[in-house]
Each structure stands twice: as structure tokens, then as C-alpha cells.
Structure 1
């Protein structure tokens, strides 16, 4: 099993090909957002955990049919043994899961804060999710102790071009087209960064392409968008974009 290998992908490709060539019955499982692009590879997309689409009038038993709420409930009980969802709090828990895009780590971090804030206040605090979800397990890897640390870890592994594109796409509040993405992402600095990364001029399209849907529309998860906007403000690009 090769876990989160995107920062050493060339070595991962070499290892996977050498092992499977030497032992044809061997199977290699890779967990990453970056495919190996080798012969015989099969890519499976793992979606985020499902949250109730309409949480306004949701009873407890209905909420718990959704994996995101089930995980929230399990982790909240672990943090506070007497925690229980009611028909009043179940819709709020479902909204928390939806606001966190069904991201398992974010849901776990949120559930661990139920003891301090309760579900209603916790939902309100998600307007500043990176400050609220800043207390993970002490024994967790550094990159999984907070939501911000997780995104920072991924962001720092990106080449220059792929850092520029997602932060500029953070200005879109919802879905957008590839043409719109290119319009806000492209400038002389980006072209220069593309050249430095050894990409062709079309490389900026590759940096966006992982957000593709069947309808050829794109969107960032709310959590990713919030992070992108934080990064967009850092270089002073916000007004220009």
C-alpha cells in the first residue's frame, strides 16, 4: 500500500512497476489524489461522505442513515459519553456535515468540539472553520491535527503553477466553466510558472481539470474555496482577480 505518495510520485511509480513486474500476482493499492499513470492501473474515485440533501425537518433516525452524520455521531459520543442527537439537534448536525463537504477528517474534528460548544453553537462557528477545527488528536500526524494543517500540507507540495490556479479559482461562489477558470487564472506570471514547471502552455488547464464533472462544469468544495481565498489574499492578488 502506497499512502499519500504525491510528493514522491516518481519513486512511487518506479516501486509499483518494479514490484508488479517481479511478482505478477501482487496488487498495489495507492491512496492519493494523483494517479500513477502506469500500465494496468485502475482508478477509483472515493467521494466525500454523503450528507442529507435537505436537513430542515430531519428526524434522528433519518439523519443517521447518512454516513456523514453517522460518523459525526460516533465521534461526538467518543468525545462526550452522554451526547445524543434529538429531533431538534439532528438537522443541525446534518448541516454541520454538509458545511464541511462530507470530509471525514473535518467531521471528526468538528465532532470533538461538541463538548465545548454544543451542536448549535458549533454550526455558527463554522463561519471561521479553520480556527474552530484546530484541535485534533495529540497522537495524530502533524498534517492531520487541524483542518488548516491538512490543507497546508497538500498546498505546500504543489508546484508554483498549481498553487496559483486554485487560489484564484476561490473567487467563484459556485460552479464555473473551464473558460471562466482560464480567464481568472491566466496571466504572464502563470505562464512563466508553467514554463518553469516544464509544462506546455496548456498546463493551466491540467491544474483545473481534476474538478471536472460529467456536465463539464467545475466547483471547489466549500472548505477548499475558503482556504483558496485565504491564500489569494496573501499575495495581494484579490483585487486584480
Structure 2
């Protein structure tokens, strides 16, 4: 889009590039070859494409068509006057602001610094982890950390708002403020990103992972200056990808000598304390309640979203009641707050949504693995999950797939590697509702 007096020109990226070339030096004849090389650097078009874009510009000018004059077969000339644009408006056109970071992340300083440094060396980094672990928060903190590096050249795309693979390119085109529908979205994106040093953040990609992987590969191919930060529960599995596994917040170990003072040094407890203080003026962290809070943070696996949701109940529930309620599986994680998108605000709803996306075999194996507590090997998983229908090879493939999708924690430091379910995932997978839905799906398949 471009303002001209009282006219708002709604044109595509190529038409805008042609207008920019013509108005750089008003009155100068700009040859066709110069325009073709500037707007289509790959050289795979002819004069007909140029005529189409010129026609589009003239139609958009509405009554000022004569400002663009054709010079026989030589080229085109802009006959109007130009003035220096407002630098602020230029910045607004180039700036694609990420959402504000409402609170500072706790316990993530080193992670944020390391990923920010890594992005300067590697062009594609995927922040990987289960729902609620804080991937988006870390990504936003990285964006703000790199504000000086990328200045106003940052584009944040929330893919959690789309449902289908074919909407991925359109979402990016919209985030880049490109008109959608005039030309193939990928072609628009390619032209818009050409020659620009830009940080592209693709947030919440797991449900459209194949389309995102294809898009990322193409962007990396046609642009040398675009850096890409991805957040997902599943890796893209493309050649240039560096995967950063985001760990839960550290929780205190058992047997603290000085409960309050010692526990307060751990990020999971610090997050609980901050959230509780925000909702309750009377909240005070002392030796009496420290053990209960530490136990809650452990039971919630150090997952920031789960800790925040639980701590937010301090204003209405005693910490002892909260700890006892955790024995009722995930009842505390149900969110009854009026929100626009419950999937983004309730950990339980997120788990339900994610499990719905799993193939039947993976859902079945996940439910059976919920019988295991603590760490287990692949052989132990086969022993528990295999049966006459789901044989050992199916279980092994399912376990690997569940680990790749952040349903399982993998410890590669020992041999053979050990797996472990997040407590919240284990509780959900073992819930009666999940068992009933698996049974219903099994009947439908018969």
C-alpha cells in the first residue's frame, strides 16, 4: 500500500517496486530492461509482465494515470513531483512489531542470551518443547534482545491462529503487510524479503509443521539475510535447523535445610512467588508454606504455564488445599476464565488438543505409558504398551514419535536412553476421559 495525496494505492510488491524505480528520479526515462532486472532479477519474464504491472499502477492511480508515460518501446517515465517521505512512516512500513513482553521471563537469561547469539551464527533455530513450557515467552524475549541487531526489521507470525497448511504462506504475507490474492503468496514473500536483513519469528508451528518446513526451506534458499526463529512442539527436520530443547524451570531438590531461603533461589519457585504476589496482597513466602510450594512446583514438572495457573489460585485457595487438589489429577488445570481462545490459556485444553492430533497408535501407546512412573527404557515401553494389535515395532516407532513431539522427555546421557512422561501429560493420558475417547475411536475403526 502507498499513499498518494488522498489516494491509497493498493498494489502488489512488484507494482510498488516499479513505482519506486520510476519515482527515484522523476522525469528520467527508465528503460524496460532496467525495470525487468530490478523487479524480476531471475530474468524469467518478458515485456508482457511489465505491461501488466504498469497497467495495474495506472488503474490504482485513478485519474492520475498520465503520471506514468510510456516512451515508445524504450521504457517509462514518471512525470509527477516527489517529496522526501517521512522517516517515521518509512519505519512504520518496514516494522512488523512482535507482541509486547508483558513480564520478564524468570530463569531464562542464559537461554535467551545463548539463542540470541546462536541466531547470529545459524540462520534457523527451533525452540522445541511441550505446551506451557514458555517457548513464545522466550522467543519474544529474544526479539527484544536483538532489537538493535535487526532494528525495525522483525516479523512475528502467530501460526496458532490458523488451522490448515494452505494458510501458512497467507499468514506470513499478511504479517509482512503484503496484499493477498493478487499473486501467489510465495512469490510475494520471495520478492518482499529479497535483500533484507530480517528476523522472522514463526510461533506455534506444530499443527502445520510440514507446510512450515517447506516454507522455511524456500525462504532460506532465496534469501541470504533472513534469520528464522521457530517455536514448536515438533522439529521441522530440515537440513539447516538447529534445535534448542527448552527445559522446564529448575525446581528445588529434596531435603532443603532452610526451606524458604533455599527454595527462593530456584526459578520455578520464583515464578510461583511472583504470580501469587500479583493476585494476593497477603501472600508471604516463609518456612511454613515453602515445602508445600516446592512440592507443587515439582508436581507440575517446573512447567511455567502450569505454575502460573496454579499460583493464580492463591487468592482463593490455601496453599495446602492447592497441594492436596493436585492429587485429583488435573482438576486444578481447568481454566474457567473467560478467554477468547481456551486452547492458549488452559494447559488441560492444550493437552486435549495436542492428543487429538496424534495418530491412533501414538495415542494408544501414550495412554499405556501413563502406567509407568519415573524413567523407563524403550524395552520397558514395549513390555507395557505392546499387545496382539500393537506389536513391538509399532510401540518403538510411537515412542520415538512422541519424543519428537515433546510428549516425552529423553535422557541421552545414559545408555540405553531413558524416557519419562511429564507428570501433567501422564495424568492427562491416564484420565478416564482419555480412556473413553480411545475406546470410542477404537470402535469407530472396527
2:357 is aligned with 1:163: no
Aligned residue for 1:115, secondary structure, equals coil
**Residue 74 of structure 1: aligned partner:** 274
1:204 to 394, 398, 405: 398
Instruction: Measure, in 1, the Cα distance between the counterparts of 2:219 and 2:253.
Output: 44
The verdict on how the C-alpha distance between 1:202 and 1:94 changes in structure 2, with shifts beyond 3 A counting, is: closer
Counterpart in the other structure of 2:347: 147
Distance 1:141 1:19 in 2: 30
Which of 87, 94, 118 in structure 1 is aligned with 2:294?
94
Give yes or no for contact 1:136–1:145 (8 Å, CA) kept in 2. no
| Other-structure match for 2:131 | none
The answer to whether the 8 Å contact 1:76/1:112 transfers is: yes
Could you tell me how far 1:136 is from its partner in structure 2?
Answer: 6.1
Match of 1:104 among 304, 320, 325: 304
Q: Aligned partners of 2:385, 2:401: CA distance in 1, in Å?
A: 10
Quote how far apart the aligned CAs of 1:165 are: 1.4
C-alpha contact 2:271 2:308 (8 A) present in aligned 1: yes
Tell me: higher relative CO, structure 1 or 2? Use CA pairs within 8 A at least 6 residues apart: 1
User: How far apart are the structure 2 equivalents of 1:109 and 1:55?
Assistant: 26
Q: CA deviation at 1:232?
A: 5.9
Q: 1:46: how far off?
A: 0.6
Please give the alpha-carbon distance, in whole angstroms, between the structure 2 residues aligned to 1:116 and 1:129. Answer: 19
Which residue, 314, 324, 338 being the options, matches 1:124? 324
Asked if 1 retains the 8 angstrom alpha-carbon contact of 2:365 and 2:399, the reply is no
Structure number with greater Rg is 2
Deviation at 1:44, TM superposition (A): 0.7
Match of 1:217 in 2: 418
Aligned partner (choices 187, 198, 207) of residue 7 of structure 1: 207
For residues 215 and 340 of structure 2, the distance between their equivalents in structure 1, rounded to whole angstroms, comes to 27
Change (3 A) 1:132 1:55: farther
Partner residue of 1:229? 430
Output the aligned Cα RMSD: 2.3
Following superposition, the deviation at residue 39 of structure 1 comes to: 1.5
Aligned position for 1:134: 334
* SS in structure 2 of the partner of residue 44 of structure 1: strand
Counterpart of 2:315 in 1: which secondary structure? helix
Please state which structure has a larger fraction of its residues in helix. Answer: 1
Task: Quote the Cα distance in structure 2 between the aligned partners of 1:36 and 1:159.
Answer: 18
Aligned with 1:218: secondary structure?
strand
Cα offsets for 1:72-113 (capped at 9, x unmatched): 011111111231211211221111101111011110110011
Is the counterpart of residue 114 in structure 1 residue 314 in structure 2?
A: yes
The 8 Å contact of residues 76 and 83 in structure 1, kept in 2 or not, is answered as yes
Stretches of structure 2 that go unaligned for 5 or more consecutive residues are 1-200, 440-446
The structure 2 residue matched to 1:179, chosen from 351, 375, 379, is 379
Residues 173, 50 of structure 1: alpha-carbon distance in 2 compared, 3 angstrom cutoff: same
Distance in 2, matches of 1:88 and 1:163, equals 41
Q: C-alpha separation between the residues in 2 aligned to 1:144 and 1:14?
A: 25
1:31 match: secondary structure: strand
Distance 1:44 1:145 in 2: 24
Q: Give 1:178 deviation, angstroms.
A: 0.6
Q: Is the 8 A contact 1:186 1:204 kept in 2?
A: no
Offset at 1:69?
0.5
Q: How many residues align?
A: 229
How far apart are residue 22 of structure 1 and its match?
Answer: 1.9
* Unaligned stretches of 5+ residues in structure 1: 195-200, 237-241
